[in-house]
Amino acid sequence: MKVILVEDETIIAEYLKSVLEKMGNHVRVLFSGNLDFDSYLNQHQPDLVFLDINLESKTTGIDLARACKNKGVPFVYLTSYSDPKTIGEALQYEPLSYMLKPFTEEEVFKTLEVARIKISQNNGNQFLNLKEGYDTVRIKLNDIRWLKADNVYTEISTNSKKFIHRKPLSEMMDLLPSTNFIRVHRSYIVNMDKVVRVGADYLEIDNERIPVSRSKKASILDKIDTD
């Protein structure tokens, strides 16, 4: 998996990074919350984020958790505190789990396995809700194959039918979880769970070839290698 770790205690950050990498994950470390975290999530599209609740920065781990929840990115809290007030405030953004410092390699392994299971379950039960006049159309995320830009509209291809929605592709990206939906071309977003072949300049989904921008190829291969 692609993991982002936000932890301002260097020793803990390096230890957790080494344990996660030992388990086959690709890990990026941030030692502060003082950055445009929304943009960082969009750029790196992690499968999972580990957040220290009590960062020594203007932006707290709970602030970053809000960004994760809004983007649909699953996360796990790291904390030295077990008091009900701190945990209660933190839980409002629905983390997958939390680890109490100091933690062992075994605890990291168990937390990661629980996270994998919950991510898989959540992806299977989530929907894309689209307003169509007075109606709401609910499309199961697992059924979506790809989305294609069509001026101010977006064409959505699913396992059973296609939808046309009046919203540009860039805005549609904000509605989809970055764990498995990637913008691979200026005109396409794909569900990476549906990809069966990666070519030199295309992805194949159900015998359809989706063009891939040269600038996106590395991130696509990285996503496949870390899943």
- Cα of 164 vs its chain's centroid, Å: 25
Start-to-end CA span in the chain (Å): 5
The predicted model gives 119-129 an average pLDDT of 72
The percent of residues above 70 in pLDDT, for the chain, comes to 95
- Cα of 185 vs its chain's centroid, Å: 18
Contact between residue 85 and residue 142 where contact means Cβ atoms under 8 Å apart: no
What type of residue is 132? E
pLDDT-based confidence at residue 60 (cuts at 50, 70, 90): confident
Give the pLDDT of residue 130. 82
The answer to whether the bond into 95 is cis (omega within 30° of 0) is no
Q: How would CATH label the architecture of 127-226? A: Beta Barrel (2.40)
- The winner for highest mean pLDDT among 74-88, 105-119, 129-143 is 105-119
Give the 3-state secondary structure of 78-139: EECCCCHHHHHHHHCCCCCEEEECCCCHHHHHHHHHHHHHHHHHHHHHCEEEEEECCEEEEE
Pick the closest to residue 54 from 101, 92, 97 (CA basis).
Answer: 101
Domains 2-124 and 127-226 share a fold: no
Stronger pLDDT, 194 or 122, i.e. the higher one: 194
Element (H, E) at 156: strand 153-158
pLDDT-based confidence at residue 92 (cuts at 50, 70, 90): confident
Give the pLDDT of residue 11. 95
Stronger pLDDT, 134 or 12, i.e. the higher one: 12
- CATH superfamily for 2-124 is Response regulator (3.40.50.2300)
Domain segments of the chain: what residues?
2-124, 127-226
CB count within 10 Å of CB 7 equals 23
pTM over 0.85: no
pLDDT digits (tens, 9 = 90+) for 2-46: 899 999 999 999 999 999 999 889 999 999 989 999 889 888 888
